[in-house]
Amino acid sequence: MTEGPLTSWDPDAPGVLRLPSGRLLRGRGVLKPLPPGPRPDFGVYLLGREPKPLPWESRWVRWPDFRLPSDRAAAADAFREAWKRCPGERVELACAGGRGRTGTALACIAVLDGVPAAEAVRYVREHYSRHAVETPWQRKFVERWTDPSRI
């Protein structure tokens, strides 16, 4: 992992979320073209089926559309890894459209960064996408995120 601004996202680029600690993550939809600019160093892909291999390091979390992760412990581990890596690497989280599953994962990571679980959906909607976290069960998942062993 390389430290420094050369490995960070442009904070003003589309889809980039700045956490309260200053860490930057990018959310996006994999059905859309890859945004211009640097590629990720690491990605977490929240999809119902395993994605095609990518030219950067990645991790797949089985997560059907409009649902919750199939393996919640694996999702929690992936969220923690993304949070730990984003200070020195370009980390992205992505689902098909970049809203529901991506927003849910970003909200959980915001909780890891210190945002109270009850406020995390609002935080991500305000700073990432107003359409983030699409279903009532995704919101409940984030609200219970304070204790990942309970989700």
- pLDDT per position as a tens digit, 56-107: 999 999 999 999 999 999 999 999 999 999 999 999 999 999 999 999 999 9
Across the beta sheet with 16-18, the strand order is 16-18, 24-29, 91-95, 42-47, 57-62
**All structural domains of the chain:** 21-146 (3.90.190.10)
pLDDT tens digit sequence for 30-66:
999 999 999 999 999 999 999 999 999 999 999 999 9
Q: Rounded to whole angstroms, how far apart are CA atoms 67 and 136?
A: 10
